[in-house]
Amino acid sequence: MVSEEVSSALQAIESASVSEKPSRYTALLQQIARSSSDPADDLNAWTTALLDDSLGVVVLRPLLTSFVDHYRSIEAADVKITVGEHVIELLRSKGIGQYEEQDTQVKEILANAYEFTEDYRKSAQTLGSITLESTQKARSADDKAKVWIRIVRCYLEEDDPTSAFTHLNRVKNVIHSVQDKQTRLMFQLSQARIYDSQRAFLDAAQAYYTLSLESMVDADERLQALSSAFICAVLAPAGPQRAKMLAKLYKDERASQVEDFPILEKMFLDRLLSPAEIKAFAARLQPHHLAKTADGSTVLDKAVLEHNLLGTSKLYNNIGIDQLGELLGVDADKAEDYAAKMLEQGRLAGYIDQIDRLIFFEGEGSGERKTGHAERVVGKERRKWDANVQGLAEEVEKVTTMIQSQHPDFYAAQMVH
């Protein structure tokens, strides 16, 4: 409720001359700052009276600037939110074009208050309403990127990677012109977090690893980025691309300092993972890393099963589907389904004999999607035929060379004929 002192002062200002009003508004604002028992209601009454007044733009702008300075110094987040929301609405109804700078500053302060109360969505929405494409004031790529990066981070805190990705794309359009190194680093981190949230784990691992090499980043934070790269590499789909990422991380001289190095080492060396190791690793993961997939297993379960399947291909030339299921700790149908998908996507090399219920492994996967089993078998037989023909030709050439060296006269006579 508006205090009687403020209410009386506003009535007096309303009847004062135009020349007196600026000084009276300023004095009342200082009074509210010093002694108001209900600053939210008093400030709302003050801003309502000010913006409803018939003062010109030239007079009103400095008064609004004084208000913004006071508004920034308010400590109570709830007061900031109440007053900020009210002022933004008043400026919107009045037309913010003439007071764009003051409107922007109020929104930035209000967004800080929302973040302080962990209402990140409202903070993002408030920042998103800032006018960045202005005819009055040209904003640099740095200014735009800083606002959009803040919005991205807020949406990530709300676990909304879709909205975050939308604003990250805006940053991508200007990042080449951004000079501030801190903003560029925040862009890299945001991109890595979005990839991570969207389960694009290979892209996330690469982005985190790139960030871990930045000399500007604090040593502990670089190690944290490396740790995040480890986790994403472990969760990535098994295959040639992940193998390259694992090799890069394993060979990094800092790798042994990361808590998850043992599990990464086992994956790099294609060793099977035990349930105890998986359970310990799972305890350090974020909720979206343990989300359920279409077949009811978690992201981690799928990553481990695919890895163990790949590891099995290094130990056996072939294996029965039922035995494979037992080895992987799943039923035979699920083991066959995972193997078929990996074979089709080129992440595993080999083929399935469904009649004899056997899986045959044939070395490393190519990473290229297969078009069908029949074509693969035909291609395999053709390659064998070509290899045999080439081998036979080489043997004939060897015999010819031996005849030429040991019986040159006979060879010469035969060549004449």
- Residue 172 one-letter amino acid: K
Phi, psi angles (nearest 5°) of residue 258: -85, 135
Considering Cα of 220, then 224, then 230, then 234, what sign does the dihedral take? positive
Output b/e per residue, 397-410; b: 16+ Cβ within 10 A. Answer: eeeeeeeeeeeeee
- Residue 65, CA distances (Å) to 32, 61, 103, 109 in order: 16, 6, 10, 13
Q: Are 321 and 336 in contact (CB under 8 A)?
A: yes
Whether the Cβ atoms of residue 232 and residue 205 lie closer than 8 Å to each other = yes
SS3 assignment, position 208 = helix
DSSP codes, 166-200: HHHHHHHHHGGG---HHHHHHHHHHHHHHHHHTT-
Say what the pLDDT of residue 223 is: 94
Instruction: Tell me the sheet residues that pair with 319.
Output: 359
- Report the pLDDT value the prediction gives residue 416, as an integer from 0 to 100: 62
Cite the DSSP H helix spans in 118-174: 120-128, 141-157, 161-174
φ, ψ dihedrals at 134, nearest 5°: -110, 145
CB 264 within 8 A of CB 234: yes
Take residue 322 and report the two structure tokens written for it: 């039922």
The three-state DSSP-derived secondary structure of 310-372 is HHHHHHCCEEEHHHHHHHHCCCHHHHHHHHHHHHHCCCCCEEEECCCCEEEECCCCCCCCCCC
The pLDDT value recorded for residue 417 is 56
Tokens of 364: 């490393």
Identity at 222, one-letter amino acid code:
R
Cβ neighbours for 370, distance < 8 A, ≥ 6 positions apart: 343, 344, 345, 346, 376
Whole-angstrom Cα distance, residue 343 to residue 341?
A: 5
Residues 6 or more apart whose CB falls under 8 angstroms from that of 352 comprise: 321, 336, 339, 340, 343, 358, 359, 360, 373
Please state, in angstroms and rounded to a whole number, the distance separating the CA atoms of residues 409 and 132: 92
- Cβ atoms 145, 183 nearer than 8 A: yes
Look-up: residue for tokens 């690793």?
281
As beta bridge partners, residue 358 has: 320, 353
> In this structure, are strands 358-361 and 318-320 parallel, antiparallel, or unpaired?
antiparallel
pLDDT of residue 363: 67
Q: Which of 332, 333, 232 is nearest to 288 (CA)?
A: 232
Mean pLDDT by 10 residues, the chain (417 residues): 88 89 92 87 93 87 93 93 95 83 94 96 95 76 93 92 92 91 92 91 94 91 94 88 92 92 88 83 86 79 84 85 85 86 84 87 64 47 68 80 79 68
CB atoms within 10 A of CB 37: 9
Judge whether 235 and 299 are in contact, CB under 8 Å.
yes
Q: Residue 367 in contact with residue 346, Cβ under 8 Å?
A: yes
Q: Compute the half-sphere exposure of residue 281: CA atoms within 13 Å on the CB side of its CA.
A: 29
Residues, the chain, total? 417
> Using CB atoms within 10 A of its CB, is residue 382 exposed (0-12), middle (13-18) or buried (19+)?
exposed
Domain boundaries, the chain: 1-117
